[in-house]
Amino acid sequence: MKTRSASIVIVSLLSFLGASITTNAQQLRDAFRKVSQSVVIVRTKRIEVNASAEDPMSIVEGLGSGVLVSSDGKVLTAAHVVETAAVASVEFPDGQLIPARVIGSDVQSDVALLQLSQLPKGISPAILGDSDKVEVGDQIFVIGAPFGIGQTLTAGHLSGRHRLNKNENGAVEFLQTDAAINGGNSGGPMFDMDGHVIGIVSTMMSHSGGSEGLAFATAANTAKRFLLDRRPFWSGIDGLLVTGGLARALNLPQPAGFLVQRIGDGSMGSRLGVNPGILHATIQGSDILLGGDVILNVNGIDITAPQASDSAVGNENYEKIYESIAGLKAGDILVVTVFRGGKVLKLTAAIDK
């Protein structure tokens, strides 16, 4: 009698688990169908300086993902996908290929905003959710183009929340997930089970080069704050902070500066006339470009070395510089001080309407 009762319990439990799995699978399938048409492949081209003197320049093609988030043609993606792009285009699942331009980016939180040259036909934008409401353990899913294979869905859970810094304007927050993320997923949306965008895929951590269940997405509320709730801007500048011995070797007139590596065509950096790097060099095991400008100061705010309390991504002065630029109105003058050829120069540009 006891054996029969135990069997009934086991069968009932298996039936319950099977029904639960079926329900979750159906919910995931329905959510995917609801939002998948808004997820895009982002294709870019940029000019790269080669190490070879025989072929000094080349065009490098880039690939990422993104998501349409407004009815007027705005697309969210990752900053590292488009920051120094010369040309960008967006490919929708139905084959529509639409030129786009970068109108905003924030390197620290790794989010960027594209504006399509025309509106896609018959496609509704995804809904940006409130990322503060999602909790560790909640089910999520990601849609993107890993290795260029579009409309790929991976599912998992929210594994953690990480705030990189805290200032008067709030924290830069990343959401950790165990959903499979690979090259090409960058910039793609992370959805909750209601089909709301709660994050933009940023990066994965891997020893093998493939997905190992440890990936991060910029929280949707962070993306909103930097790119949608105020006037966005695109610096288009890729570079690295130089301090200590390298700063002294470059003869900088101050303890720290931002060594420019690449400039995005049409960006604020290109309109200012900032010079990119032109010469490959290996310093302390890292390949960098020398010969470009070193930014010393932006709108009166010095580039400084990070303090012990600063995050790995940026420091307090980065926040001040970002706020200073974001606060400029159309017609205001942006002033950037650079170190070029042993001289300190001031570069200026008017802010567009």
Catalytic residues: 80, 110, 186
Q: SS3 for 222?
A: helix
Burial degree of 94 (CB within 10 A; 0-12, 13-18, 19+): exposed
Residue 200 · residue 223 · CB < 8 Å = yes
How far apart, in Å, are the Cα atoms of 117 and each of 82, 89, 97? 16, 9, 10
The per-residue b/e assignment along 111-124, b for 16 or more CB within 10 angstroms, e otherwise, is bbbbbbeeebeebe
- Distance in angstroms (rounded) separating the CA atoms of residues 274 and 136: 43
- Distance in angstroms (rounded) separating the CA atoms of residues 338 and 29: 53
Phi first, then psi, for residue 168 (nearest 5°) are: -65, -20
Residue 85 · residue 44 · CB < 8 Å = yes
Residues 6+ apart with CB under 8 A from 137: 157, 158
Per the structure block, which two tokens stand in for 186? 């960058």
- Distance in angstroms (rounded) separating the CA atoms of residues 73 and 70: 6
Phi first, then psi, for residue 177 (nearest 5°) are: -140, 155
HSE-up (13 A, CA, CB side) for residue 153: 18
Question: Pairing between strand 196-204 and 127-128?
Answer: parallel
Per the structure block, which two tokens stand in for 84? 């120094």
